[in-house]
Structure 1
Amino acid sequence: MVPVGPGSGRPGLDQTGAGRSGPGRSGPGRPRSERARLAILDAAADLLIEGGLAAATMEAIAARAGVSKVTIYKWWPSRGAVAVDAYFHRYRPEMGMFDSGDLARDLTAQITLMVDAFRGRAGAIMAELIGAAQTDAVLADQLRALWIKPRRDAGTILIQGAVDRGELRPDLDIQIALDQLFGPLYFRLLVRHLPLGDPMPAALVRAFLDGAR
């Protein structure tokens, strides 16, 4: 399967530089320290895994990374922004997106990756980030820029390709289709009325294709 992302010439999960609040951008003056940036991201990710968002304070991140809070604030405007960036620094490879030209297989594979990740620590942290985003505008913007938009862009390419190949009907609303495919994962993650189970990926893709052809 071909990755949808950098190097593919197609927008995907990892093409997120435009949404970064600081560390992904270059600026005038002295070059930023990549070593310090990665130390901050690793420290924040470790703290998120160990104790959730409450543990990832600026003080704790600075102490764990061996930098000053001033250094962190040079690149990120808030604790929430660091946390979101650190989350995807750690977990993005586990939830990649691919385009093999086989829509059913690709969608099933992508949903399976998300189900597997969301059943573990990545899911608990994602739920906490989504909750915090309701009252933290900076965190919400970062979450949309680093996760929601890139994934929807990549999903749009996959589904539009199937429409162009005549596999799906031409009047399909792709944004609604993406909600239909991936929305149930977030609903179960947040509401917890039912588990994120193994049958979900195939069932969601089958229901989508039944209505989209």
Structure 2
Amino acid sequence: MIEQPSATRGRPRDTKTHGAILRAAFTVLECEGYAAATIERIAAEAGVAKQTIYRWWKGKAPLFMEVLAHKAGQAIELPDSGSFKGDLTLLLTGTFAAVSTTLRPLMRALAAELLQDDDFAETVRDVFVRRRRANVRSLVEKAIGRGELPVETDPELICDIVFGTMWYRLMFDHSPLDKAAAEQLAAAANAAAVYATK
């Protein structure tokens, strides 16, 4: 299972309360959307004082960042199909399915937030971006170990190809993120891995 974010602020979190807050935030997100969601509304939904939320998160954006990371972690498993292209196709199919639901507008909203807040941008890199890149990097390294990809393959370039495409489509919505897109992108990344080392 993909690694989940850990507590990074304030006193140790009570697991039950922490889970209740994440569930409440997601419920509010589904009902009202990110822009209308407030800490007060989430606290009421979770049955906790808003001070409890502020002890663990600086505000709405970091809280929803953890909601996103949690939901993404639940939805996506690291595959083992026996080939890099197959593994990447499965990983991207699961990722695209997850971000094409309630998470899509949330990811757009959080992307807008990080452009205005350097501290939050670092949180996004720590909690979400680096962990997603680590998953793709792991698939590349496994393929190199099998002799399927050249040892000179640059995992960071493959990550850029994969996630650059995903975020471009998420932000501009000019083309779908679906199973066909996952298959095409996996094939392109596989070809790039081979071509870039020639």
TM-score range, shorter chain: 0.7 to 0.9
CA distance in 2 between partners of 1:130 and 1:97 (Å): 25
Any idea what SS the aligned residue of 1:141 has?
helix
Aligned residues: 194
Unaligned runs of 5+ in 2: none
Any idea what SS the aligned residue of 1:53 has?
coil
For residue 100 of structure 1, report the CA deviation from its aligned partner.
4.5
Sort the Cα spacing of 1:34 and 1:210 in 2 relative to 1 into closer, same or farther, 3 A. Answer: closer
2:170 equivalent in structure 1: 189
Q: Superposed, which structure 2 residues align to 1:7-86 within 5 Å? A: 13-17=2-6, 20-22=7-9, 26=12, 32-86=13-67
Query: Which residue, 112, 118, 131 being the options, matches 1:150?
Result: 131
CA distance in 1 between partners of 2:147 and 2:129 (Å): 27
Per mean C-alpha deviation after superposition, the further-off stretch among 189-198 and 92-101 is 92-101
For residue 176 of structure 1, report the CA deviation from its aligned partner.
0.8
For residue 208 of structure 1, report the CA deviation from its aligned partner.
1.9
CA distance in 1 between partners of 2:146 and 2:28 (Å): 46
Sort the Cα spacing of 1:145 and 1:45 in 2 relative to 1 into closer, same or farther, 3 A. Answer: same
TM-score normalised per structure 1: 0.81
CA RMSD of aligned residues (A): 2.1
Q: Superposed, which structure 2 residues align to 1:128-143 within 5 Å? A: 128-143=109-124
Sort the Cα spacing of 1:168 and 1:74 in 2 relative to 1 into closer, same or farther, 3 A. Answer: same
CA distance in 2 between partners of 1:206 and 1:44 (Å): 37
TM-score normalised per structure 2: 0.87
1:112 equivalent in structure 2: 93
1:200 aligns with 2:181: yes
Per mean C-alpha deviation after superposition, the further-off stretch among 102-111 and 131-140 is 131-140
The one-letter code of the counterpart of 2:142 is G
- Runs of 4 or more consecutive aligned structure 1 residues displaced over 6 Å after TM superposition: none
Query: Which residue, 68, 71, 75 being the options, matches 1:87?
Result: 68
For residue 22 of structure 1, report the CA deviation from its aligned partner.
3.1
Any idea what SS the aligned residue of 1:203 has?
helix
CA distance in 1 between partners of 2:90 and 2:71 (Å): 20
Q: Percent identity?
A: 31
